[in-house]
Amino acid sequence: MAQNGLEDTAAVPLEPASQAALKPPETLRTGAGPTLCRDCLSYFPDGPLDCPACGSIRVICHAELAGLDIAHIDCDAFYAAVEKRDDPSLRDKPVIVGHAGGRGVVTTACYIARQFGPRSAMPMFKAMEMCPGAVVVPTDMAKYRQVSQQIKAIFLDATPVIQPVSLDEAYLDMSDEARGVSDPLPAMALAEAQRRIEDEVGITVSIGLSYNKFLAKLASDLDKPRGFSVIGEAEAKEFVATLPVSKINGVGKVTAAKMAEQGIETIGQLQDMPEMELVARYGKFGRRLAGYVQGEDGRKVNTDGTSKSVSAETTFRQNMNGADALKEAVGPLCERVGKRLADKGIAGGTVVLKLKTGDFQILTRNRQLPNPTQKADVIRYHAEALIEAEADGRYFRLIGIGVADLCSAIEADPPDLFSGLE
């Protein structure tokens, strides 16, 4: 915990004692609606305000929790968080990432530094005037790209349908259609991804969950850092009405200034305008705006290809365990996936293994490939490596194999036959 009371953006273990002090009174603790504990992932259909299973108060409670399936995930103070992870002496210090010196600008400021004013894109000299004690760390894009890949791999365990927007943010389609109907509740899979990113990557992210991309992105920004915010259909319109127009994705400084000139400060002031008027005032964007201000957004989570993943799965007659049996079962599935990829003229850049345990828990594990492939034997090679890591004696009732990150077959399988097997 930082001295100024702000939570640091590097992962921090929870302290049970301080949680206990914050518990709500007993009378408030039941009947609050569907509730998920973000720490132990317990789910209560009509839940308490703290988790009876582990005692955490980091619970998400929302009437529509089980039905919302579009998520936006954004890393907290991304570059600064990576630098703090790699140099623990920076942990409780104000850190600014960017190039020091006369004409440098801030790429990001950590949450401690932000208390003093520095922000992304600010001239460095100005940021240093506001926060003279800040430690300036040079930008290291290669490192942030590598961290971004690690995070993407964790997202892919939650759903094959992801749309990375930049190095530090992505939309995730958590619908049954995208993931397979028996996967865990979207909120649960997301809370697990959030926790894994803290444990395995060492930085924190904020999650927004809603029923469309516009609202999911708004939500991920509501409770930073380490947030998990939910916007449901019931409150969406009323909620967005209160926000400044600058919160609309696509309303930059210029449009916001134009709106201000017209006396429009909040989204609510746009809600009564007919679409025609919005188009007349703000051009083509007015059409999309007309939906946004009502809490509507028809955009799909776009993985860049038309299909999102190609997969095949089989349910065993009798539950199976052991690597050998699972590997034998996965062989024909890889053949099927390879054939379907060849038929469609596409290839996959990530192999995804799906296992359902005897007690109906779904596990997905994935591996990014050095080169996209459509070859069954390459898929099988990686599938077997993933199986090896999971076959610890547990019994499984289903196995599936798929490929995600689809691309054209032209980009796949370079001529060296074995290059995909590195």
Would you tell me which residues interact with ligand TTP (CB under 6 A)?
A: 74-79, 107-108, 120-121, 168-169, 224-225
End-to-end CA distance of the chain: 42
Q: Which of the following is catalytic: 7, 64, 169, 422?
A: 169
Q: Which residue number, 168 or 183, has a Cβ lying nearer to Mg ion?
A: 168
Give the residue with the Cβ less far from ligand TTP, 110 or 404. 110
- With binding defined as CB under 5 A, does residue 330 bind Mg ion? no
Give the one residue of 75, 90, 201, 391 binding Mg ion; rule: CB under 5 A: 75
Beta bridge partners of 95: 135
Please state, as a whole number, how many other Cβ atoms lie within 10 Å of the Cβ of residue 202. 16
**169 noted as active-site residue:** yes
108 binds, among ligand TTP, Mg ion, none (CB under 5 to 8 A by kind): ligand TTP
Q: Is residue 192 within 8 Å of 56, Cβ to Cβ? A: no
Tokens of 308: 């999102």
The nearer residue to ligand TTP, 146 or 361, going by C-beta atoms, is 146
Span interacting with Mg ion, options 68-76, 372-380, 391-399, 412-420, rule CB under 5 A:
68-76
The amino acid that residue 142 corresponds to is A
Q: Which is nearer to ligand TTP, 77 or 267 (CB)?
A: 77
Longest dimension (CA), the chain: 70
CB atoms under 10 Å from CB of 99, counted, come to 14
Give the number of other CB atoms < 10 A from CB of residue 271: 15
* Span interacting with Mg ion, options 74-82, 116-124, 132-140, 180-188, rule CB under 5 A: 74-82
- State in angstroms the smallest separation of the CB of 204 from ligand TTP: 9
Please choose which of ligand TTP, Mg ion, none residue 35 contacts, taking the beta carbon within 5 to 8 angstroms, the exact cut-off set by kind: none
Q: How far is the CB of 74 from Mg ion (least distance, A)?
A: 4
* Residue 225, preceding peptide bond in cis (omega within 30° of 0): yes
Angle of helix 376-390 relative to helix 323-344, nearest 10 degrees, comes to 150
Cβ-based nearer residue to Mg ion, 57 or 112: 112
Residue 337 near which of ligand TTP, Mg ion, none (CB within 5-8 Å, type-dependent): none
CB of 85 to ligand TTP, least distance (A): 13
Strand blocks (E) in 156-227: 162-166, 169-173, 205-210
Query: Up-side HSE of residue 331: CA atoms within 13 Å toward CB?
Result: 6
Minimal CA–CA distance to 79: which of 206, 221, 203, 164? 203
* Least distance to ligand TTP, CB of residue 83, Å: 10
Which stretch, 78-86, 159-167, 330-338, 362-370, contacts Mg ion (CB under 5 A)? 78-86
Minimum CB separation of residue 58 from ligand TTP in Å reads 18
Judged by CB under 5 A, which of 168, 183, 297, 405 binds Mg ion?
168
User: Rg for the chain (alpha carbons), in Å?
Assistant: 23
Closest CA to 58 of 38, 76, 73, 34: 38
Q: Are 286 and 259 in contact (CB under 8 A)?
A: no
Q: Considering beta carbons, is residue 151 or 320 the nearer one to ligand TTP?
A: 151
Q: Helix 78-86 to helix 141-158 angle, to the nearest 10 degrees?
A: 100
210: closest CA among 371, 382, 18, 60? 60
Return the residue of 74, 83, 173, 405 that touches Mg ion, per CB under 5 A.
74
Nearest-approach distance from CB 80 to ligand TTP, in angstroms: 6
Strand order in the sheet with 59-61: 43-44, 35-37, 59-61
Which SS3 state, helix, strand or coil, does residue 304 take?
coil
Give min distance, CB of 120 to ligand TTP, in A: 4
Q: Give the nearer residue to ligand TTP in terms of CB position, either 120 or 269.
A: 120
**Contact residues for Mg ion, defined by CB under 5 A:** 74-75, 78, 168
Which residues are the active-site residues?
169
